[in-house]
Amino acid sequence: CKMGMSRIDEGNYKSASEYLSKAAGLGDATAHYNLSVMYREGEGVEKDEKKELRHLEEAAIIGHPFARHILRVTEQRKGRRNRAVKHWMIAAKLGEDDSLENVKMAYRCGLVSKDDLASALRAYQAAIDATKSPQRDEVEAACNGLGLGSRFLSNS
């Protein structure tokens, strides 16, 4: 996955797709997520909605929280509110900020029970606590200082 991300940074999307495909074949959630972005945008690969969704689903199943969040958006656009809320809950429990805020909003609208909200809050906090480290804070600060966006997320 790291080689694929390096190729993305260089703008070599064709090579990135090859490296990411190999990493995805080995079960790397971030590789699956980034391939879904590439298939959506048509960068290094031909645009393909089915492949985009397949890689997005694989990333979510393996545990990529932002992929889960994007699946929620997809389900909501298709009018599948219950499935969308389930994706919010899972993504929030994985530590995804936007999904937690959406779970809170769903609670206020009566779509999520008080017990489910409490469970999501506890799991969210546990996920955040599990990822805290001085090194991670330094890298995040450096990336923000360089103005690097989060379009391609690297968790590895």
What is the per-residue pLDDT across 24-35, written as a single tens digit (0 to 9) for each?
999 999 999 999
Whole-model pTM? 0.70
DSSP characters over 99-111 = HHHHHHHHHHTTS
> What long-range pairs does 46-52 form, CB within 8 A, spacing at least 24?
none
Looking at residue 140, what is its pLDDT? 74
DSSP code of residue 15: H
DSSP code of residue 78: T
> What long-range pairs does 79-85 form, CB within 8 A, spacing at least 24?
81/111, 85/111, 85/112
User: Please, what is the average pLDDT of the chain?
Assistant: 87
What is the per-residue pLDDT across 42-70, written as a single tens digit (0 to 9) for each?
999 999 999 999 999 999 999 898 898 89
